[in-house]
A = this chain, B = another copy of it.
Amino acid sequence: MTWNPEMEVVFHPRVVAMVGVSAQATRNSGRGFGGGNFINSFEQLNFTGRIHPVNPKATEIMGRKAYPRVSDIPEPVDLVVVSVPAQALPDVLEDCIIANARNIHVFTAGFEETGLPERIELGHRVREIAVRGDLRIIGPNCMGLYVPASGVGTFDGLPKESGPVAFVTQSGGHSNWFTHNGPNYGVYFSKSISFGNAYVLDSTDYLEYLADDPETRIICMYLEGVKDGRKLLRQVKEINRTKPVILWKAGLTQAGSRAVASHTASLAGEEAIWRGFFAQTGAVAVSSLEEMAEAAMTFQCVKPPEGNRVAVMVLGGGTSVAAADICSREGLEVPHLTDETQAELRKFIPPAGSSIRNPLDTGLVFRDIELLQREVSLVAADPNIDMLILRPHMDMINSAGSEQVDKVVDYLSDFCKGNEYGKTAVLVFHSFANESWERELRAKLERELPKKGVPVYTSLAAASRTLARLYRYHRVQRELSAATS
């Protein structure tokens, strides 16, 4: 089966049937899921096609003519979105077969994941109908699609902007968080696909489409289980060479595996198998949404480092020890700077209360933009160094005057976006003080700079962990290229 032309319609529907919209549904009826809330979301995203509410007890819903059944809609339907109770789903699907409406997002939940015998049986019936009718079901038990360019979405307040990141997820909550919070990491989406229990379409089907999707450059995945593990491995190995695949495989502990059964009724699989999967595919393993967002930001805007040798610029000796420990544990090397660089640094950095070896405990330069530029340039030029983690202290910068803060932030942001030394560079803001101006400014910079392509992390651990992932990804790709050339 070739999915792609049909999937094209799924992601760019012009005619949508919304089945299971309350007759009383209104615009902005409050935040919730399903029915009228889906229509709200499409409208918020400026969907330009036609939406037909389906409800046998209504003639008009939210200003639109309502139809009793999908098969009553007088034009071909590209996408059906179903939020009826579980027991009503079989009849809706039978009617979709009659209407020849084969692309169906089933929001409806309450099947084998409940553990209840009658619900398991209901799930079997739904599968049987789907197979018989050759229905392309997304779900059930999922939040379906978010395609900002098509005006398609199922949550309130989604970003209208598109971006190069696709998210394929078995958790609608994760889709909810990532699509809303991605912008805080400068991450916008081509598509987000919440696919729940995967009765018909599975992660591999979506991957097949995304592999060739010109709007997608980075693929994030949250998987609880997979039906065809070999196919997934083959696909990810291939796709990952051109589009980094960032994958969170959940449910690998015993308790997690039980929770997976209660959520999407998937088989979580064993940890050892998945370790092998990551080793063979070179996919980027993460284990939380925050790590996924950090990785997506990084693969999107950070220059891959040539090697894994990092220089860290901090304020505080204890902080420099912590930085060395953290970077080492994440697999980065923290080498000494060359004697030449140290000699140049020593010309303007006094020996007492500082260290110029690496990590650099030279926080006082943050008070003087010229010394800062001099230090950053020297470190970036050092042949021992592949990447820089810059950790300016807001309170230290501010002690030299508040206009100093803008100067330092602008200079370091520009440096991270690209520098004449061709070195990878990222930012982590910090402060010893605990003042509201500083907390608020830091939170604002952490949220706003990534939108401008400046990589900012909320901790040294996050920065070093993600840079290590970026480095390893590109090392593996280089090795693969060498092996096949």
Contacts and interface: CB of A to CB of B under 8 A. Distances in A.
B255 A317 contact: no
A224 interface: yes
A432 B173 contact: yes
A264 B353 CA distance: 10
Contact of A325 (B85, B250, B399): B250
A90 interface: no
A379 interface: no
A176 interface: yes
Interface stretch (A70-78, A237-245, A327-335): A327-335
A176 B321 contact: no
B31 A324 contact: no
Contacts of A119: 351
B351 A321 contact: no
Interface residues of A, number: 81
A9 interface: no
A420 interface: no
25 contacts: A109-B352, A114-B352, A116-B351, A141-B317, A156-B433, A171-B317, A171-B319, A172-B316, A173-B316, A173-B318, A173-B319, A174-B318, A181-B434, A251-B324, A253-B328, A254-B328, A255-B324, A255-B325, A256-B321, A258-B334, A258-B357, A259-B320, A262-B355, A288-B322, A443-B443
* List of 3 A-B pairs having minimum Cβ-Cβ separation, nearest first: A171-B318, A173-B316, A110-B352
Given A108-B352, A251-B324, 14 more contacts: A110-B351, A141-B353, A155-B432, A157-B435, A171-B318, A173-B317, A173-B432, A174-B316, A184-B434, A255-B334, A256-B322, A256-B328, A259-B355, A262-B317
Interface of A: 30-32, 85-86, 108-110, 113-116, 119, 141, 155-157, 169-174, 176-177, 180-181, 183-184, 222, 224, 250-256, 258-260, 262-264, 287-288, 315-325, 327-329, 333-334, 336, 350-353, 355, 357, 359, 361, 395-396, 399, 432-435, 439, 443, 461
